[in-house]
């Protein structure tokens, strides 16, 4: 499917509560889609660009921005990072890059939640064209 540039989708999250803050047009090529035939196996976070009927047009996975673990630097040589369980609900922002495809209407996010690594569950489905196309930081903490 031919794309017309890309959209950088900016999300705000508090724990697993997610809102779509903006859909910003960018003139870059989005990463290629991965396996549309089957749901990803063994991944902790993925997202789908979907048509109005829910047909999957694009799918990618990445590290889980909502996960119960996070990277922290260490002073141990040979191990620059390690993971610790989050002790409180994590809040912040993350973004994904999707192609601007004709017929694309929704983006749906899937994540492993509540300390369960797999399977993933839907944590939100958002209408891409209803999000603002610009975003200005407000200075508020998420």
Per-residue pLDDT of the chain (142 residues; tens, 9 = 90+): 666 789 999 999 887 789 999 999 999 988 888 877 766 666 778 999 999 999 999 999 888 887 655 555 666 655 545 455 555 667 889 999 999 998 999 999 998 876 565 677 899 999 998 877 776 665 444 4
- The answer to whether the CB of 12 falls within 8 A of the CB of 38 is no
State how many domains the chain has: 1
Q: What is the domain extent for residue 19? A: 3-130
Asked whether residue 136 is domain-assigned, the answer is: no
Bridge partner list, 126: 107
Residue 142: predicted pLDDT: 41
Q: Which residues of 26-46 are buried (b: 16+ CB within 10 A; e: fewer)?
A: eeeebeebeeeeeebeebbbb
Q: Give the CATH number for residue 65.
A: 2.60.40.3250
Asked whether residue 118 is domain-assigned, the answer is: yes
């Amino acid at each position: 499917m031919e794309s017309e540039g890309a959209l950088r989708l900016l999300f705000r999250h508090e724990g697993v509560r997610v809102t779509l803050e903006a859909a910003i047009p960018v003139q870059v090529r989005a990463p290629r889609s991965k396996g549309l035939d089957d749901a990803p196996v063994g991944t902790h976070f993925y997202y789908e660009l979907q048509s109005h009927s829910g047909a999957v047009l694009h799918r990618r996975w990445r590290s889980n921005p909502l996960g119960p673990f996070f990277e922290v630097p260490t002073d141990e040589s040979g191990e620059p990072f390690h993971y610790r369980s989050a002790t409180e609900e994590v809040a912040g922002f993350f973004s994904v890059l999707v192609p601007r495809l004709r017929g694309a209407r929704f983006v749906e996010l899937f994540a492993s939640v509540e300390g369960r690594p797999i399977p993933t569950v839907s944590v939100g489905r958002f209408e891409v064209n209803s999000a603002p196309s610009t975003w200005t930081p407000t200075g508020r903490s998420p």
